[in-house]
């Protein structure tokens, strides 16, 4: 293959933007998809990627994305990265509107885009011998934690969707990869979660020794899609060394114990 093309959702910031940059550096053509046109245009100017403005919770926008891609070339990889969290309240106290938003962006948008682009990915697999669907979930989709509520539920659902999709596509040259990050320090994730409260968002990362950054996850995604076509990295869990679980996070310098812990 002379040219490989990937579609990356949630491309206007964070892991999505970093993935666009990493794939472009690896020689791929990339279509970055997000709602914020100004940010996408800046990313396109920086990287040479193509962009498409779409709200993935709107079926009409997803249909338009599919038509645009079908008219402009093959698709060899889809990175379903769009998502997010809102709130850290209990199940009892949390907002049903926040839950609905989290299911829309983390689960239903993932389903909409995957359904729309699978025919194009099959065409790409004929050309390349394999095509990839990479779903960026979270360790919150594997381990529950207090305050996780709607985000846990949405990411558990995204994980289940990914597992079922892999079963359903068995027998086709289509790899279904789940990347489940732990704590990743980005400009917006915690800020959105806490409704724009910058102090509260920044406090998430206070005194955490070397949290992951978006480029760490982008590197994992690129590595997965560049594996030999018979190799499928089904589930990749990526955490900073300081994080043992969503609720177990070391603060301060990491040091070797001089005595065995009791």
The question of whether 145 is a catalytic residue gets the answer no
Query: How far is CA 54 from its chain centroid?
Result: 16
**C-alpha angle 58-8-42 in degrees, rounded to nearest 5:** 95
Backbone dihedral region of 87: left (phi > 0), alpha (psi from -120 to 50 degrees) or beta?
left
In this structure, what token pair is assigned to residue 89?
A: 């309240």
145, 151, 205, 247: which is the annotated catalytic residue? Answer: 151
Strands 248-249, 243-245: parallel, antiparallel or unpaired by DSSP? antiparallel
Distance CA(31)–CA(58), nearest Å, equals: 18
- Residue 56's SS3 state is coil
Separation CA 23–CA 235 (nearest Å): 20
Q: Which residues are marked as active site? A: 151
């Amino acid at each position: 293959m002379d040219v490989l093309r990937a579609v990356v959702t949630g491309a206007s910031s964070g892991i999505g933007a970093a993935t666009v940059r990493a794939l472009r550096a690896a020689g791929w053509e990339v279509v970055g998809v997000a709602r914020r046109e100004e940010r996408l245009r800046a990313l396109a100017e920086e990287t040479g990627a193509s962009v498409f403005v779409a709200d993935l919770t709107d079926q009409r926008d997803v249909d338009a994305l599919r038509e645009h891609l079908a008219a402009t070339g093959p698709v060899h990889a889809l990175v379903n990265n769009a998502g997010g969290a809102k709130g850290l309240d209990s199940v009892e106290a949390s907002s049903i509107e926040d839950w609905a938003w989290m299911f829309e962006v983390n689960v239903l948008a993932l389903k909409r885009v995957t359904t729309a682009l699978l025919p194009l990915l099959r065409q790409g697999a004929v050309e390349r011998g394999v095509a990839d669907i990479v779903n960026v979930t979270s360790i919150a989709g594997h381990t529950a934690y207090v305050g996780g509520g709607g985000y846990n539920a949405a990411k558990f659902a995204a994980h289940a969707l990914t597992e079922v999709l892999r079963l359903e596509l068995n027998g086709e040259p289509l790899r279904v990869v789940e990347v489940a990050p732990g704590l990743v320090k980005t400009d917006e994730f915690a800020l959105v979660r806490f409704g724009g409260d910058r102090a509260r968002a920044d406090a998430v990362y206070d005194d955490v020794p070397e949290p992951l950054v978006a480029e760490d996850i982008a590197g994992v995604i690129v590595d997965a899609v560049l594996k030999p076509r018979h190799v499928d990295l089904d589930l990749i869990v990526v955490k900073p060394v300081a994080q043992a679980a969503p609720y177990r996070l070391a603060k301060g310098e990491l040091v070797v114990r001089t005595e065995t812990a009791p």
